[in-house]
Structure 1
């Protein structure tokens, strides 16, 4: 069982609206993000996460997003193992997202 907290898409929407500094990372592949991403999300495909973790500040809050929540959970667990203490997974991924999309 993972120790990564899950956050609902509705809670993620509130964080975007409140501009609270949370960094959203979409780990889907290029062709998936072409169908739209959550506003403010950064696109870092899952396979590239290991190449980018050293560039990300460890003291920020991160929410990881994918299509269904499985790949983003793997990315969140990886980041947690690398010393990121405030990492969450968006529950159900973009399949459960009903907010605005950016392209």
Structure 2
């Protein structure tokens, strides 16, 4: 029984590693790629936000969101995001923010694995908010 368990765990780990490697970069519009190691492409994101089919999702907790957020963003905490995917199908572009970009990257990976395309990690909400205000 123990060798079977070890075999199953080995297969599961190698499959998870392969999936993680394939999710490192996701293709987005305009033949661009946003990698987890790159800075958010604010110029691209600003253009997307001019489109009515773009939504900003803030994946921080409600408490963090209430302390401050981008005016047009919607709070969908990372912990409950998977249960709230249906309304997102109405949007062509999904821009995700959090405090620093780490939870936004997790949310981006989740949405991509669930079949969403054109998902952008915009990093920390305060930086994007500053970028958007400088646009005006």
TM-score category, normalised to shorter length: 0.7 to 0.9
For 1:46, the equivalent position in structure 2 comes to: 78
Q: CA RMSD in A?
A: 2.3
Pair 1:33–1:27, CA change in 2 (3 A): same
How far off is 1:40 after superposition? 1.3
- Structure 1 length as normaliser, TM-score? 0.77
Contiguous gaps of at least 5 residues in structure 1: none
- Shift of the alpha carbon at 1:12? 3.9
How much has 1:54 moved relative to structure 2?
2.8
CA distance in 1, matches of 2:61, 2:115: 25
Q: Secondary structure at the match of 2:117?
A: coil
Closer, same or farther in 2 for the Cα pair 1:32/1:59, shift >3 Å?
closer
Residues 62, 88 of structure 1: 8 Å contact kept: yes
Where does structure 2 lack aligned partners over 5 or more consecutive residues? 1-20, 27-33
Higher relative contact order structure (alpha carbons within 8 Å, sequence separation ≥ 6): 1
Q: Say if 1:58 and 1:84, in contact at 8 Å, map to a contact too.
A: no
Q: TM-score, normalised by structure 2?
A: 0.60
> How many Å separate the matches in 2 of 1:39 and 1:55?
19
Larger CA Rg, structure 1 vs 2: 2
The structural deviation recorded for 1:53 is 1.1
Who is 2:110 aligned against? 78
Please identify which structure carries the higher helix content. 2
Q: Does 1:3 find its partner at 2:25? A: yes
Does structure 2 conserve the Cα–Cα contact (< 8 Å) formed by 1:58 and 1:85?
Answer: no
